[in-house]
Structure 1
Amino acid sequence: MLSSLLVESSVEVSFKELLICIMTSVLLGLLVACVHMYRNVYSKNFVITLAVLPVLVQLVIMLVNGNLGTGVAVLGAFSLIRFRSVAGGAREITSIFWSMGIGLATGMGYVGYVTLFSLIIALFLLILNTVHFGEKQKVTEREIKITIPEDLDYPGLFDDLFQEYTYSATLDSVKTTNMGSLYELRYRITLKDSQTEKELMDAMRIRNGNLTIISGKVATNREEL
């Protein structure tokens, strides 16, 4: 089962062998697409690409099999495609690598090998995503912009409030505004309880003379649900 379906010394491939390799690529490509869609954010075009990619890679491998010059040219073409594409998330890269691996294996005739390993990989990924492996405890992060008068000494001004309402608080930047008469402090905080956000803002309003306070989400790259 783990041996190559295609005879390495032969130049021609029988229609039956070619059909088996193509059907294996199609079915395993659909498997990759289905696994990628499980509890993940995706687009229709991307999952279609995952399903078709194994057949395309198989075609390329069959064409360059045994030809070193053509293989180097194809490698350069793949490099151009890589650098002209937008960088995706970790799960997208895994799915693309998996699809390409299927195409490489079927192009060389290792149908049983790639089928066995694809089933194992699919089962492994489904289990990891089902049990929420590696997920962090959900916390509420906020980016807070606080405007204070210039005569107010801002170092340590809100430390007692942050100690009461947050797990951590970091002063990211300080900026002068309104011709230098005001300071804008930008903090990144992690709240102990999201329900106490209003209490924290009310307490900070007392400290800064009821000037502007803005609380928003922290800009992060979230790639999964």
Structure 2
Amino acid sequence: MTVGISLNISSTLLSIIVGLFLGLIISIVYLLITPRNDRSPNFAVSLVVLPAIVTVIILLVGGNLARAFSLAGVFTLVRFRSVPGDSKDITFVFFAMAAGLTSGMGYLTLGAAITILLCFVFVVFHKIGFGVMKQKEKRLRITIPEDMNFEGAFDDLFEKYTNGWSMQKVRTSNLGTLYEITYHIILKEKVSEKEFIDELRCRNGNLNIMLSMMETNSQQF
């Protein structure tokens, strides 16, 4: 039995099922490599369904010219995710659409092979921490008395405990009787943060010291 001119029910259903299966694999990999707090359940479901939707579009339009115009419309969906998401989310959207293209055009084995290969690449890059900053970037805030010269006051300790530092901000506090200095530092590997802070406390008269993580918008892949 056929639908329209060239669609066969059994082959159409098989392509859609394969598209859903490939989308499920892609969605599982997305959940595996994305931190729990950054996961979007709705996006994970969308990744499952998107290849099947693209498969249906490719099956329905038929013909290279019609397929080209339909793909232009499908790829505009990327903007839907690119506005609130990040580069990894956009990559998964393209990934899911590519899987839908292969199943919609009948390359089921090729689509499965490519999906498994790329999912393997995603997982490997995530496990090895590819592209993730290995050095420990920190924000250091030190309070010193007004009669202490803060210029170069801690340079020897920074050379001992860090691979680099830069002064970010200086401001007065407590009606001008104290200075609060903010540094961006990169701690050396295997250094004791407690020892570092203890030596700073001895230098600044045991006033407040705060060591915190640098705020960043970057995410692990």
Q: CA deviation at 1:61?
A: 3.3
Q: Give the alignment partner of residue 110 of structure 1, picking from 100, 107, 110.
A: 107
Partner of 1:86: 84
Q: 1 CA distance for matches of 2:18 and 2:148?
A: 70
Change (3 A) 1:69 1:215: closer
**Counterpart of 2:85 in structure 1: which amino acid?**
A
Partner of 2:168: 172
Runs of 4+ in 1 over 6 A off after TM superposition: none
With 192-201 and 156-165 compared, the bigger mean Cα shift is at 192-201
Change (3 A) 1:11 1:171: farther
Partner of 2:117: 120
Instruction: For residue 192 of structure 2, give the secondary structure of its aligned residue in structure 1.
Output: helix
Superposed counterparts of 1:1-225, under 5 Å: 11-41=5-35, 42-65=39-62, 66-67=65-66, 71=70, 74=73, 77-78=76-77, 80-82=79-81, 85-90=83-88, 92-130=89-127, 132=128, 134=130, 138-192=134-188, 196-221=192-217, 223-224=219-220
Q: 2 CA distance for matches of 1:210 and 1:129?
A: 42
Percent identity among equivalent residues? 32
Contact 2:144 2:204 in 1 (8 A): yes
**Counterpart of 1:32 in structure 2: which amino acid?**
I
Contact 1:64 1:70 in 2 (8 A): no
Q: 2 CA distance for matches of 1:30 and 1:193?
A: 40
Q: 2 CA distance for matches of 1:26 and 1:202?
A: 57
Q: 2 CA distance for matches of 1:76 and 1:95?
A: 13
With 119-128 and 179-188 compared, the bigger mean Cα shift is at 119-128
TM-score with structure 1 setting the length: 0.77
**Counterpart of 1:196 in structure 2: which amino acid?**
S
Change (3 A) 1:133 1:154: closer
Q: 2 CA distance for matches of 1:217 and 1:120?
A: 35
TM-score with structure 2 setting the length: 0.78
Unaligned regions of 5+ residues in structure 1, if any? 1-9
Q: CA deviation at 1:161?
A: 1.0
Q: CA deviation at 1:145?
A: 0.8
